[in-house]
Amino acid sequence: MTNCSSFSNYVARLHQFMREATQGFAPGSVPRPGWLPALEGTPLAEPARSGAGDIPPAARFGARPAGRPVSRPDTFDLTFGLLARELFALQFAHNAPYRQFCEARGITPRTGADWTALPAVPTAAFKDQELTSLGPGERTAVFYSSGTTEHRHSRHFHCAESLAVYEASLWPWFAAHLLAGIEPGERIPGRDPLGLGLSLCCLTPPPTRAPHSSLAHMFEVVRRNLAQPASAFVGQADPTGTWTLDLEAVVEVFQRAEADRQPLLVLGTAFSFVHLLDALEGRSKKFRLAGESRVMETGGYKGRARVIPKPELHAAIARQLGVRPTHIVCEYGMCELSSQAYDTAPGAPQRQHPARVLRFPPWARVQVISPDTQREVAEGETGLIRVCDLANVHSIMAIQTEDLGIRRGAGFELIGRAALTEPRGCSLLGRELCH
């Protein structure tokens, strides 16, 4: 039996859980009006009362229309816990570097720790060890973390089964946040299967030019599910792997959308937006996109563009692209994860808290961990973001990021990369000295 097949039962149960949690919200269906507002409008968790990782049911399962509970919330908690336990046992058995780490910590499947107490692997360790349960022959794809060429990259190995999980995980949560608020019209198979009337513009290279980018792969899944043409990708990758924009192509896509009054869905990294806005400014070009146009912005800069604070970047996007500020959505994801967090959805009611609170889907849970005590911080306090992602089937479920965030109910507010906030803290696990 290969490692991959050992996970099949788990994967089947996970798919079922994801379907239940999102009510079969998959390609072919559209976000129901009110789907996300139910999530946004709920009060935040009471951290003192609930245990570590407890999430208020309504915030967790916004997918449930009011008055029609699919399942009792404690059943979901239970399912999450059981799946986490099952996946931990599988990863412990089939992932030797992780097993050694857990044994060094004295935690094994027999110790019966719940998901909040499982050893979390730091993202940097993915640069150092092959943290996968897939044998070399089983790996069909690998995603690398972005970064300059001198840095070593994190590696997340995939097989067909884990890619399918990745895609099943990313779509419903993406759709819930980026496709919300549009009244579906006529569905046209092969052209507009969801009847949303959106056209797509991805500021990354296509996956054929960036085969190791989980982000390009994610955007490709979105493109496929929306049946958009390959020309939706307007980014390029030069031979060194540096991403650039085909500015002519961007302008053409934007001009066409503007002229046709067709809402545009623009997906990109923060640095690609900075490049785009700088280039447009250089040409004194501005757009006024159709009202339901929306933007997803993700990720840091990693030295590839001048750094602009988020509110400023969003204001510039709104000003220069003519997108409503309420229709700019932040995404938080990384190659080491298979699920993503989002902070809002177009049409969602005004945020109760001025901060942008990011939330993962029900199959990935976040903890904000004090770097000092290694325990979860209290509501409103700052710590390192840790994610327990049930969709991380063949790598590691419990991921310790290097990102600092503030605990906000079931979600978190992103502050930034710890290494970047430290004046003399060099990200020196590689072979370079920053000063």
Q: Which stretch binds other proteins (CB under 8 A): 116-124, 161-169, 172-180, 344-352?
A: 116-124
Nearest-approach distance from CB 91 to other proteins, in angstroms: 14
Residue 421 found at the interface with other proteins (CB under 8 A): yes
Question: Smallest gap, in angstroms, from Cβ of residue 303 to other proteins?
Answer: 13
Measured from the CB atom, is 82 or 428 closer to other proteins? 428
H or E segment at 58? helix 57-60
DSSP string covering 6-43: HTHHHHHHHHHHHHHHHTS--TT--PPTTTTHHHHTSP
Q: Find the shortest distance in angstroms from Cβ 420 to other proteins.
A: 9
Which of 71/421 has CB closer to other proteins? 421
The rounded distance, in Å, linking the Cα atoms of 191 and 188 is 5
- Taking CB under 8 A as the criterion, the residue among 74, 150, 186, 372 binding other proteins is 372
The answer to whether residue 121 forms part of the interface with other proteins (CB under 8 A) is yes
Quote the least distance from Cβ 106 to other proteins, whole Å.
11
Q: Is 122 in the site for other proteins (CB under 8 A)?
A: yes
382 binds other proteins (CB under 8 A): yes
* Angstrom distance (rounded) from CA 357 to CA 340: 13
Binding of residue 147 to other proteins (CB under 8 A): no
Our CB check for other proteins shows the closer of 124 and 182 to be 124
- Binding range to other proteins, per CB under 8 A, among 48-56, 80-88, 163-171, 418-426: 418-426
In 3D, which of 293, 248, 296 has the Cα closest to residue 272? Answer: 296
Closest to 339 (Cα-Cα) out of 398, 392, 395, 406:
392
CA 371 to CA 381: how far, in whole Å?
Answer: 12
Query: In angstroms, rounded to a whole number, what is the distance separating the alpha carbons of residues 44 and 154?
Result: 34
One of 129, 231, 236, 326 touching other proteins (CB under 8 A): 129
With the C-alpha atoms ordered 81, 352, 19, 341, is the resulting torsion angle positive or negative? negative
* Binder of other proteins out of 404, 407, 411, 414 (CB under 8 A): 404
Q: Which residues contact 241 (CB under 8 A, 6 or more apart)?
A: 149, 210
Cα(223)–Cα(234) distance, integer angstroms: 13
Q: What is the closest distance, in whole angstroms, from the C-beta atom of residue 130 to other proteins in the complex?
A: 10
Is 299 one of the binding residues for other proteins (CB under 8 A)?
Answer: no
Closest distance to other proteins from the beta carbon of 204 (Å): 27
Whether 258 and 249 have beta carbons less than 8 Å apart is answered as: no
Q: Cβ neighbours of residue 199 under 8 Å, at least 6 residues apart?
A: 228, 232, 253, 256, 257, 262, 263, 264, 265
Q: What does DSSP say about strands 264-269 and 199-202: parallel, antiparallel, or unpaired?
A: parallel
Contacts to other proteins from residues 68-107, by CB under 8 A: 97, 100-101, 103-105
Nearer to other proteins, 199 or 395 (CB): 395
Segment contacting other proteins (CB under 8 A): 22-30, 31-39, 324-332, 417-425? 417-425
Which parts of this chain interact with other proteins (CB under 8 A)?
97, 100-101, 103-105, 120-122, 124-125, 128-129, 370-374, 382-384, 400, 402, 404, 418-419, 421-422, 424-426, 428-429, 431-435
